[in-house]
Amino acid sequence: MPKSNRITAYADIPAKAWNDWKWQLDNRLTTVEDVVRVLNPSQQVIDGMKAVSAQFKLSITPYYANLIDMQSAHCPIRAQAIPSIVEADIVESDMLDPLEEDRDSPVPGLTHRYPDRVLLLITDVCSMYCRHCTRRRLVGQEDRTFDPTFFQQAIDYIANHPEIRDVIISGGDPLMVSNKKLEHVLKSLRAISHVEIIRIGSRLPVVLPMRITPSLIKMMRKYHPIYISTHFNHVKEITPESAKACTMLADGGFPINNQTVLLRGVNDCPHVIKQLNQKLLTIRVRPYYLYQCDLSKGISHFRTSLGRGIQIIEALRGHTSGLAVPTFVVDLPGGGGKVPVMPNYMITRSDDKAVLRNYEGAITVYQEPHRWESICGHDPACEQQRYKSKSGPAMLLARPHTILEPQKRKLNADEKG
Ligand SMILES: *Cc1c(COP(=O)(O)O)cnc(C)c1O
Ligand code: SF4
């Protein structure tokens, strides 16, 4: 960033320091005093920060702080970074672990909820603590970095479960660990032959883009196929720096998928999401999920209705590139997992006809074929495979005469077995 784009407090920092991720980490704003010194907020904001900062950790990188417009009460960067008095409002529906990630955890740091993929948390440290974080119960609470004992247990678990073909490395922020430790993680996973793909979920391309260095890329490339999941929430976060980080990742052969959290006051508007997603495509980032905000503690002010999310998808699908349309998902409280929620495009149907409407509201009759039984389904090998791999309603459709009986709260564990 040219110095001229910097706020006064940072105007004199030499470019070499500013562009060094270690400098950025060493100079994070972690106290109310830091924020006051750099951003000069109003007394009201200061009081709010003081009231909640003991409860939920504060940290902002200088790079991200520099994007904040303190003059605007509606700055989307500010809302994500600066603690606010409303975090003290704990509402009845708030939960510490709304997704029950801990329940589905066979060993510490590993969540195995879906049949063929796991979530592996390798650190609870982030460079910035997002005010809307769903894992607030974990991140930053102890600043527990990489724990070799738990990590080895997780690796053993994955090695002993051949059905796991996809490992999502998350945290905290997994790119907060050193290249050396990250390489150890990647190497350990690649030593397991049934792990087909690795995903790294990191917000650093957005809040600390300097972390994406040539040496990081060079190291990670050795362990392909690796996918990156990142977390842009607003077009203001697409800067020359974050664009460069994504370009380096894309050039390194890492497909980048974005997971936006739908946040009231930040991006709860069709125009804002459309602008964000179109701009993301220009830096080769594909919008993947739009998340309904979870029921974590102290973030109810960020939640909006499911209806708002549907309205956003309605405004995207058909109106702009399909590549710019993410799947809107709600991660069900209680460990129910992700459920996609969409506008209704099918109006009604019979045996031989479906009535569909398009994004413009035009209604069309689609004639079903006269025969639709699957030809490939007559292959006994295929039949076997279908019986083995399906559970839930997908199994009801695949098998004749099956009744689905959920077992009390043990459902997930049984599905996995
Ligand atoms: C989101 C999530 C995944 C990955 O889900 P995809 O739909 O495959 O991206 C895996 N495990 C857990 C626990 C998750 O929350
Ligand atoms: S980067 Fe992710 S894990 Fe870290 S504070 Fe933000 S939302 Fe939470």
For ligand 2, is residue 129 a contact (CB within 6 Å)?
yes
Quick one: pLDDT at residue 39? 96
Measured by CA distance, the residue closest to atom 7 of ligand 1 is 338
What's the CA-to-centroid distance between 347 and ligand 2, angstroms?
39
Q: Are residues 291 and 307 in the same domain?
A: yes
Q: Are residues 139 and 68 in the same domain?
A: no
For ligand 2, is residue 203 a contact (CB within 6 Å)?
yes
Query: Catalytic site residue 131?
Result: no
Q: Which domain holds residue 145?
A: 110-340
Question: What is the C-alpha separation between 48 and 35, in angstroms, rounded?
Answer: 12
Q: Are residues 20 and 155 in the same domain?
A: no
Extract the runs of DSSP E, i.e. beta strands, from 10-91: none
Q: Are residues 184 and 310 in the same domain?
A: yes
Q: Which two tokens stand for residue 378?
A: 């007559």
Question: What is the C-alpha separation between 134 and 125, in angstroms, rounded?
Answer: 14
Question: 63, 75, 104, 126: which is the annotated catalytic residue?
Answer: 126
| 104 found inside a domain | no
Question: 130, 136, 264, 293: which is the annotated catalytic residue?
Answer: 130
Question: What is the C-alpha separation between 45 and 53, in angstroms, rounded?
Answer: 12
Whose CA is closest to 202, among 181, 241, 171?
171
Ligand 1: residue of 97, 103, 166, 168 to mutate (most ligand atoms within 8 A of CB) is 168
Which ligand is closest to the CA of 176, given by its number? 2
The enclosing domain of 121 has a CATH number of 3.20.20.70
> Cβ distance 75 to 96 under 8 Å?
no
What's the CA-to-centroid distance between 119 and ligand 1, angstroms?
7
- Full-model pTM: 0.92
| 100 found inside a domain | no
| 413 found inside a domain | no
> Cβ distance 286 to 324 under 8 Å?
no
Whose CA is closest to 124, among 176, 60, 180, 82?
176
Question: What is the C-alpha separation between 334 and 58, in angstroms, rounded?
Answer: 27
Q: Are residues 236 and 304 in the same domain?
A: yes
Domain count, the chain: 4
Q: Are residues 137 and 216 in the same domain?
A: yes
| 415 found inside a domain | no
Query: Catalytic site residue 382?
Result: no
| 96 found inside a domain | no
Which ligand is closest to the CA of 331, given by its number? 1
Measured by CA distance, the residue closest to atom 12 of ligand 1 is 119
Rg of the chain over Cα atoms, rounded to whole angstroms, equals: 23
| 411 found inside a domain | no
Q: Are residues 271 and 154 in the same domain?
A: yes
Q: Are residues 54 and 187 in the same domain?
A: no
The number of helices, as runs of H, and strands, as runs of E, in the chain is: 16, 12
Measured by CA distance, the residue closest to atom 7 of ligand 2 is 133
Q: Are residues 74 and 144 in the same domain?
A: no
Q: Are residues 315 and 362 in the same domain?
A: no
CA of 171, closest atom in ligand 2: 3
Quick one: pLDDT at residue 303? 94
Quick one: pLDDT at residue 2? 60
Q: Are residues 136 and 283 in the same domain?
A: yes
| 416 found inside a domain | no
Question: What is the C-alpha separation between 65 and 81, in angstroms, rounded?
Answer: 8
Measured by CA distance, the residue closest to atom 3 of ligand 2 is 172
Q: Are residues 75 and 136 in the same domain?
A: no
What's the CA-to-centroid distance between 378 and ligand 2, angstroms?
48
| 367 found inside a domain | yes
| Residues whose beta carbon lies within 6 Å of some atom of ligand 1 | 111, 113-114, 117, 119, 168, 338
Quick one: pLDDT at residue 413? 43
| pLDDT tens sequence for the chain (417 residues) | 566 789 999 999 999 999 999 999 999 999 999 999 999 999 999 999 999 877 888 999 999 999 999 999 899 999 999 999 998 888 877 777 777 777 778 999 999 999 999 999 999 899 999 999 987 766 655 556 678 889 999 999 999 999 999 999 998 899 999 999 999 999 999 999 999 999 999 999 999 999 999 999 999 999 999 999 999 999 999 999 999 999 999 999 999 999 999 999 999 999 999 999 999 999 999 999 999 998 888 889 999 999 999 999 999 999 999 999 999 999 998 888 899 999 999 999 998 999 999 999 999 999 999 988 777 666 777 666 666 666 778 777 777 777 777 665 544 444 443
